[in-house]
């Protein structure tokens, strides 16, 4: 349901360092901008990244291309903002250069940009769009409330989640920052639409209830989500598989992009 892309949150006006520059150029740029790292470009193509820590124990005349990092992790502008978040927070990198298919710099996405995108992650618009979809597909007239639901009563509709994002949701719950999950309530059923990482995090932490947007359907009709759950043999949150970050398909994207560097 989340269609937010890196291009929606990245910074387009990026301070860069020329590959033919020196350590002194980087120091002067740090003084002026107060930034701690910069993409290194050859014309517009990203060829490396240089951070303040790379300047330790080097002469001011040291060429940039000898002290910069050539191991690039970059983002595609059409990458999901959630996938970019996984790379940033899992790798410890604070900023990802955003490049086109030829490796030319388009912008930069930072951990602050990712946090900004997540603050507005669940919106009334998102819930109402799903309600409109239900009306069109099933000819029903759902109602919307906000309530507390039992975690153990939720029927999952997603077969797998990722460990790194699960850790992030655990942190949010501990800090009281977790947003409500989205649930469809039918007679005798609570169908989890959005928030599988939050629900599994709560269960892992022993939390019995979560805040939820409840989309109420009085008719006992089978939704497409229920059919999906049945086909994937999903009955409880225990049936949801937790996958390690390394198995996420995003890694193939970043490796492909790195070769452009």
Backbone angles phi, psi at 209, to 5 degrees: -135, 150
Instruction: Tell me the two tokens of residue 171.
Output: 């942190």
The reported pLDDT for the residue numbered 3 is: 67
The reported pLDDT for the residue numbered 212 is: 92
Backbone angles phi, psi at 134, to 5 degrees: -60, -40
Q: Residues with Cβ < 8 Å from 253, sequence gap 6 or more?
A: 76, 79, 83
The reported pLDDT for the residue numbered 121 is: 53
When pLDDT is cut at 50, 70 and 90, the band that residue 260 belongs to is: very low
| The pLDDT of residue 127 is above 80 | yes
What are the Cα distances from residue 45, in Å, to 97, 167, 173? 11, 35, 41
The more confidently predicted of residues 120 and 232 is 232
- Tell me the C-alpha distance between 240 and 233, whole Å: 10
| The pLDDT of residue 178 is above 90 | no
- Give the alpha-carbon dihedral of 216, 237, 196, 131, to 10 degrees: -20
Q: Which domains does the chain have, with CATH numbers?
A: 6-118 (3.10.580.10), 122-247 (3.90.1530.10)
**Own/partner pairs for 116-123, CB < 8 Å, 24+ apart?**
116/9, 117/4, 117/8, 117/9, 117/81, 117/85, 118/85, 121/2, 121/179, 122/179, 122/180, 122/182, 122/194, 122/213
- Strand extents, DSSP E, 87-220: 95-99, 105-110, 143-150, 154-155, 160-162, 181-186, 189-194, 209-216
């Amino acid at each position: 349901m989340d269609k937010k892309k890196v291009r929606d949150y990245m910074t387009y006006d990026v301070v860069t360092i020329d590959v033919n520059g020196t350590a002194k150029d980087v120091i002067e740029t740090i003084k002026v901008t107060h930034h701690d790292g910069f993409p290194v470009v050859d014309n517009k193509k990203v060829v490396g990244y240089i951070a303040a820590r790379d300047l330790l124990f080097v002469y001011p005349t040291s060429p940039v291309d000898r002290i910069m990092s050539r191991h690039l992790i970059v983002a595609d502008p059409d990458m999901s903002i959630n996938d970019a978040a996984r790379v940033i927070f899992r790798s410890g990198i604070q900023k990802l250069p955003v490049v086109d298919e030829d490796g030319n710099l388009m912008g930069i996405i930072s951990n602050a940009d990712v946090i900004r995108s997540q603050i507005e992650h669940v919106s009334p618009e998102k819930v109402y769009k799903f309600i409109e979809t239900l009306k069109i597909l099933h000819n029903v007239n759902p109602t919307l409330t906000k309530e507390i639901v039992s975690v153990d009563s939720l029927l999952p509709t997603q077969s797998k989640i990722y460990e790194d994002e699960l850790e992030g949701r655990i942190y949010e719950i501990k800090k009281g920052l977790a947003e409500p999950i989205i649930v469809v309530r039918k007679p005798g059923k609570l169908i989890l639409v959005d928030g599988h990482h939050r629900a599994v995090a709560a269960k892992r932490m022993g939390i019995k209830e979560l805040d939820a947007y409840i989309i109420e359907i009085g008719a006992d009709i089978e939704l497409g989500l229920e059919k999906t759950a049945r086909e994937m043999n999903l009955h409880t949150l225990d049936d949801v598989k937790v996958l390690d970050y390394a198995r996420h398909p995003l890694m193939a994207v970043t490796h492909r992009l790195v070769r452009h560097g």
